[in-house]
Chains A and B, each alone.
Chain A
């Protein structure tokens, strides 16, 4: 039986608009990467998550939210853009 909580149906149009301003810090087998949503490739690889978070500050200044993920892919921290 499908569970169909209408209150929880994603508002997909708002997700599309919101997503365009997000940069994610994502685990890779050999480090951490910064990846803008919608980009084909990650921007750069970092040996540690802390270095990736440090670099991501520039994106916040440019108006991007920065989403920091745990190694299991879930969200640990969401930093809103500085604008």
Chain B
């Protein structure tokens, strides 16, 4: 178990380009509120089996956020995406069955893009803490922020403050990386570790860490 267990948040989400617009404000909100987002793409070791990485992160994290807004098949003939529900199950299993009682303290947030869509697909999650971000970046900030207040995290700033600072952060990200020769599309597709590193530098420079 990590010595940062009480500050780690396992992020279970899609890894496609389209989802980046929601992933970035999610990561920013967590770091802004002094938590550590842990995500499978934080390490880029192609020899590491992804499931092993996920199991390690689940065991290192007291908190988890599971975004189930993309489990639906997009068109006829396409498979539904089951990685995210699988990881919900692994996280729940760790909480309920791990011999170490500290895991009973795990807390999770389930996110959806349309209201009640999660219960249509995974009715066993009835009664779980589900929040709807409506596939909207600003709503993502609000949903995560509200959950953090509900799980008794301290000194959580208001949603507008976090959202505005996310916009200011993006301006500095754009400015800094443009000066270093990055094109707009390359800035949009920055690897997550690089994005998180710049975020940490930025938050430290603003004394928000």
Is there contact, CB below 8 Å, between A71 and B167?
no
The interface-forming segment of B51-59, B92-100, B170-178 is B170-178
Contact of A26 among B24, B136, B163 (CB under 8 A): B163
Identify the closest chain B residue to A40 (Cβ).
B161
A29–B21 CB distance below 8 A: no
Known: A10-B176, A28-B138. A73 touches B198 (CB 8 A): no
A17 contacts partner chain B, Cβ-Cβ < 8 Å:
no
**B150 touches A (CB below 8 Å):** no
Interface residues on A, range: 20 to 34
Interface residues of A in 1-26 (CB under 8 A from B): 1-5, 7-12, 15-16, 18-19, 22, 24, 26
Q: Which residue of B lies closest to A15 (CB)?
A: B172
With an 8 Å Cβ cutoff, the count of chain B residues facing the other chain is: 32
Digitize B59-92: 1 where CB-to-A-CB distance is under 8 Å, 0 elsewhere. 0000000000000000000000000000000000
Q: Is A72 an interface residue (CB 8 A)?
A: yes
A73 and B167: CB pair below 8 A? yes
CB contact between B167 and one of A15, A16, A69 (< 8 Å): that residue: A69
Q: How far is the CB of B157 from chain A (nearest CB, A)?
A: 12
- B residues in contact with A3, CB < 8 Å: 191, 193-194, 197
- Within the complex, which residue of A5, A15, A35, A78 is in contact with B164, where a contact is CB–CB below 8 Å? A35
- Given known contacts A3-B194, A29-B139, is B170 in contact with A37 (CB within 8 Å)? no
Q: Which residue of A lies closest to B184 (CB)?
A: A75
Cβ contact within 8 Å between A75 and B170:
yes
The reply to whether A72 and B21 form a contact with Cβ atoms under 8 Å apart is: yes
Per-residue A-contact encoding for B101-141, CB less than 8 Å = 1, 0 else: 00000000000000000000000000000000000111100
A73's partner among B170, B172, B197 (CB-CB below 8 A) is B170
Q: Which residues of A contact B176 (CB under 8 A)?
A: 8, 10-11, 15
Query: Which of chain A's residues have a CB closer than 8 A to the CB of B171?
Result: 22, 24, 67, 69, 75, 78
Near A by CB (< 8 A), chain B positions 17-43 give: 21-22, 24-25, 43
Chain A residues, Cβ within 8 Å of B21: 72, 74
Residues of the B chain whose Cβ atoms lie less than 8 Å from the Cβ of A37: 168
A-B CB proximity, top 9 nearest: A12-B205, A72-B21, A72-B137, A75-B174, A3-B193, A26-B167, A67-B171, A73-B167, A3-B197
Can you name 16 A-B residue pairings with CB atoms under 8 Å?
A3-B191, A5-B197, A8-B180, A8-B194, A10-B172, A10-B198, A22-B171, A26-B167, A29-B138, A35-B164, A37-B168, A72-B25, A73-B138, A73-B166, A73-B167, A75-B171
